[in-house]
Amino acid sequence: MTLVFHHTTHGQQIHFGAGRAAENLRTQLESLGSRRILLIVTRSAIAAAEALTAGLPVAARIEGVAQHVPLPDAQRARALAVDTGADVIVSIGGGSAVGLAKAIVVEHTVPIIAVPTTYAASEGTDIWAVTRNGSKEIRRDARVVPVSVIYDAGLLANLPGPLAADSGLNGVAHCIDTVFAGGTSPISRELALAGLRSLAAGLPGIAAAGGGGEAPLGSRESCLYGGYLGAVAYSGVGRALHHEIVHVLGGSHGLAHARTHAVMLPYVSAVLASWAPDSAARIAVELGGGTGVGDGDPARVCVDRLLALCDLLVHPSSLAELGLAQSELGAAVARIVGEVPAVYPRPVTVEVVADILGAAFSGADPRSLLE
């Protein structure tokens, strides 16, 4: 077989180790010669940030960042970076923190050091976005890739159960969207499958403990590692059906990002599994701990195993539960169809997206979308 593909690898240092975040952060700041830190922190990580940055040269800080990076927030943060002469941005928290950092450095080019406290791992991609006039604008730029990522599973000891579940499923979505997307390089595909394997191994331990500190350290580390692999894999794709749906529902309709991932994942996967049974079989194997599909229908086995994982976790069950109004479905469908790239074996039509959103809105069994 002759392989023909394109793949881009971004330079990034990963520092992984429980209890080592403070040491690793100081080492990285020293290596960069940083003297003026702009600190960006999500609300759930304020206590951790206080401990990690004690004694460091923080010139300014932004706390409690909004999801989906509203453009006015990005503009204020860019001005703050310039006014304070920040020579490095340290983001501590979930995807909203690193998302705002990315929106700054496309105009004020300084390095980002990311210290994640969820499993979603947007720090592993070159994708950034701002929301302008109700539309989430997705872009790619190598400058937004953090130069260093510091993973410390100890920082996730107090992560609330719902946030642990939703961000974990966000990581799973990176993996599954990558495997199903047409034109994915074999490198990205294998990274996605490895990430899915690690997440599927770690999430049951997170679920059994209800998230937080009672979850075994090994489960938290497995999810951090798997989440990162999935994000790097998805960076090789950049745009895919599940993520376009989630971005539109978040940016244009105000739904919470990770929670929307958790709701939509089984529905989109059911449709794509029917379209791409070979990919569905690969996903099913990783979700099944290495167990093949046997004589079963690969698409059904894939969705059954994905639902079994989702059912372990406390997460919302429908778009209606997230607050989407039924009257908004039509506008959402039209916008999504206009955003989805042509990378699938069948066209992503208005009818296809309407079926997906309709089932997800009502909380119907995702298997109803299998062909």
Q: 102 is written with which tokens? A: 């990315």
Q: 60 is written with which tokens? A: 């300014």
pLDDT tens, 269-292? Answer: 999 999 999 999 999 999 999 999
Q: 108 is written with which tokens? A: 């004020």
Specify the pLDDT at position 212: 65
Average pLDDT over all residues of the chain? 93
Q: Read off the pTM.
A: 0.95
d(CA 63, CA 92): 10
For the residues of 155-188, what is the DSSP string, one character each?
GGTT--HHHHHHHHHHHHHHHHHHHHSTT--HHH
H-type helices in 19-69, by residue range? 21-32, 46-53
Q: How many residues does the chain have?
A: 371
pLDDT tens, 100-126? Answer: 999 999 999 999 999 999 998 999 999
DSSP annotation of 66 reads P
> Alpha-carbon Rg of the chain, whole angstroms?
20
Which residue in 209, 298, 295, 279 sits closest to 237, CA to CA? Answer: 279
Phi, psi torsion values for 284, nearest 5 degrees: -60, -40
- Hey, what amino acid is at 364? A
- Hey, what amino acid is at 123? E
CA torsion angle 82 84 85 86 (round to 10): -90
Residue 213 pLDDT > 80, yes or no? no
Mean pLDDT for 244-268 is 93
Which residue in 134, 152, 122 sits closest to 23, CA to CA? Answer: 152
Q: Sign (positive/negative) of CA torsion 103, 135, 173, 282?
A: negative
Residue 265 pLDDT > 90, yes or no? yes
d(CA 247, CA 236): 18
Q: 141 is written with which tokens? A: 């730029």
Phi, psi torsion values for 25, nearest 5 degrees: -65, -45
d(CA 263, CA 253): 15
Q: Name the band, by pLDDT with cuts 50, 70 and 90, for residue 24.
A: very high
Specify the pLDDT at position 368: 97
